[in-house]
Protein backbone atom coordinates (compact mmCIF):
# COMPACT_ATOMS: atom_id res chain seq x y z
CA UNK A 1 0.00 0.00 0.00
CA UNK A 2 1.41 3.35 -1.00
CA UNK A 3 1.60 6.42 1.19
CA UNK A 4 -1.13 8.07 -0.88
CA UNK A 5 -3.49 5.09 -0.42
CA UNK A 6 -2.90 5.10 3.36
CA UNK A 7 -3.73 8.81 3.45
CA UNK A 8 -7.03 8.19 1.64
CA UNK A 9 -7.92 5.33 4.01
CA UNK A 10 -7.20 7.62 6.94
CA UNK A 11 -9.44 10.40 5.55
CA UNK A 12 -12.27 8.01 4.74
CA UNK A 13 -12.04 6.43 8.23
CA UNK A 14 -12.12 9.87 9.86
CA UNK A 15 -15.18 10.90 7.85
CA UNK A 16 -17.00 7.67 8.75
CA UNK A 17 -16.20 8.19 12.43
CA UNK A 18 -17.54 11.76 12.33
CA UNK A 19 -20.76 10.60 10.66
CA UNK A 20 -21.30 7.83 13.20
CA UNK A 21 -20.67 10.24 16.10
CA UNK A 22 -23.20 12.69 14.63
CA UNK A 23 -25.81 9.95 14.30
CA UNK A 24 -25.31 8.87 17.91
CA UNK A 25 -25.69 12.45 19.18
CA UNK A 26 -28.81 12.94 17.05
CA UNK A 27 -30.31 9.70 18.35
CA UNK A 28 -29.63 10.82 21.94
CA UNK A 29 -31.49 14.10 21.39
CA UNK A 30 -34.37 12.25 19.74
CA UNK A 31 -34.61 9.97 22.77
CA UNK A 32 -35.03 12.94 25.12
CA UNK A 33 -37.69 14.51 22.94
CA UNK A 34 -39.65 11.25 22.68
CA UNK A 35 -39.11 9.65 26.11
CA UNK A 36 -37.98 12.48 28.34
CA UNK A 37 -39.66 15.37 29.97
CA UNK A 38 -38.81 19.01 30.43
CA UNK A 39 -38.15 21.47 33.22
CA UNK A 40 -36.62 24.92 33.45
CA UNK A 41 -32.90 25.36 34.02
CA UNK A 42 -30.66 28.36 34.59
CA UNK A 43 -27.27 29.03 32.97
CA UNK A 44 -24.78 29.44 35.84
CA UNK A 45 -21.39 29.61 34.09
CA UNK A 46 -19.89 30.32 30.67
CA UNK A 47 -16.15 30.40 30.05
CA UNK A 48 -13.41 29.63 27.52
CA UNK A 49 -12.18 26.02 27.65
CA UNK A 50 -10.36 23.63 25.29
CA UNK A 51 -10.32 26.06 22.32
CA UNK A 52 -14.08 26.46 22.70
CA UNK A 53 -16.59 27.91 25.15
CA UNK A 54 -18.22 25.79 27.84
CA UNK A 55 -21.46 26.50 29.65
CA UNK A 56 -22.94 25.00 32.79
CA UNK A 57 -26.60 24.98 33.75
CA UNK A 58 -28.56 23.77 36.75
CA UNK A 59 -32.08 22.42 37.02
CA UNK A 60 -34.25 20.82 39.68
CA UNK A 61 -36.14 17.53 39.39
CA UNK A 62 -38.24 16.24 42.31
CA UNK A 63 -36.52 18.65 44.70
CA UNK A 64 -32.99 17.52 43.74
CA UNK A 65 -30.57 19.90 42.00
CA UNK A 66 -28.68 18.67 38.91
CA UNK A 67 -26.03 20.25 36.69
CA UNK A 68 -25.39 19.81 33.01
CA UNK A 69 -22.97 21.34 30.53
CA UNK A 70 -22.47 22.08 26.86
CA UNK A 71 -19.70 23.38 24.62
CA UNK A 72 -19.88 25.63 21.59
CA UNK A 73 -18.99 29.03 20.24
CA UNK A 74 -19.22 32.41 21.96
CA UNK A 75 -22.54 34.26 22.13
CA UNK A 76 -24.24 36.98 24.14
CA UNK A 77 -27.86 37.46 25.13
CA UNK A 78 -29.64 40.64 24.05
CA UNK A 79 -29.02 42.03 27.55
CA UNK A 80 -25.26 41.63 26.97
CA UNK A 81 -24.69 38.66 29.29
CA UNK A 82 -21.97 36.34 27.98
CA UNK A 83 -23.46 32.91 27.33
CA UNK A 84 -26.77 34.13 28.79
CA UNK A 85 -25.54 33.53 32.36
CA UNK A 86 -28.50 33.91 34.70
CA UNK A 87 -31.11 33.32 32.01
CA UNK A 88 -33.57 30.41 32.15
CA UNK A 89 -34.08 27.91 29.32
CA UNK A 90 -35.94 24.62 28.86
CA UNK A 91 -34.00 21.50 29.86
CA UNK A 92 -34.91 18.07 28.50
CA UNK A 93 -33.96 15.20 30.80
CA UNK A 94 -34.33 11.44 31.06
CA UNK A 95 -37.17 10.28 33.31
CA UNK A 96 -35.17 7.16 34.23
CA UNK A 97 -32.00 9.12 35.03
CA UNK A 98 -32.56 12.88 35.52
CA UNK A 99 -28.80 13.56 35.53
CA UNK A 100 -28.84 12.94 31.76
CA UNK A 101 -30.02 16.18 30.18
CA UNK A 102 -29.80 18.62 27.31
CA UNK A 103 -30.43 22.36 27.55
CA UNK A 104 -32.35 24.04 24.74
CA UNK A 105 -30.89 27.52 24.27
CA UNK A 106 -33.63 28.61 21.84
CA UNK A 107 -32.18 31.01 19.24
CA UNK A 108 -28.68 30.36 20.59
CA UNK A 109 -28.91 26.57 20.27
CA UNK A 110 -27.05 26.71 16.94
CA UNK A 111 -24.00 27.90 18.90
CA UNK A 112 -23.71 24.51 20.65
CA UNK A 113 -21.47 21.74 19.34
State pLDDT tens for residues 40-70.
999 999 999 888 899 999 999 999 999 999 9
Same domain for 95 and 82, yes or no, is yes
Same domain for 41 and 91, yes or no, is yes
Answering whether pTM is above 0.75, one says no
> CA 33 to CA 84: how far, in whole Å?
23
Same domain for 14 and 62, yes or no, is no
The residue range of the domain holding 13 is 1-35
Instruction: With a cut of 80, say whether residue 103 has pLDDT above it.
Output: yes
Mean pLDDT, to the nearest integer, of 76-102? 89
Same domain for 65 and 94, yes or no, is yes
Instruction: With a cut of 70, say whether residue 34 has pLDDT above it.
Output: no
Same domain for 27 and 51, yes or no, is no
DSSP result, the chain: --HHHHHHHHHHHHHHHHHHHHHHHHHHHHHHHHH-EEEEEEEEEEEEETTEEEEEEEEEETTEEEEEEEEE---B-TT--BTTTT-EEEEEE-SS-TT-EEE--GGGGGGB-
Same domain for 13 and 53, yes or no, is no
- φ, ψ of residue 63 to 5 degrees: the values are 80, 0
Taking a C-beta distance cutoff of 8 angstroms, is the pair 77, 87 a contact? yes
Same domain for 105 and 58, yes or no, is yes
Closest by Cα among 105, 91, 103, 113 to 22: 113
**How many domains does one find in the chain?**
2
pLDDT value, residue 109: 74
Same domain for 3 and 13, yes or no, is yes
Same domain for 30 and 84, yes or no, is no
Amino acid sequence: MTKEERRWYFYISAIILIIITGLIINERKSYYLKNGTTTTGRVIDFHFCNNNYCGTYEYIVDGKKYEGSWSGSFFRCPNGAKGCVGKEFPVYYSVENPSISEIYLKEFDIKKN
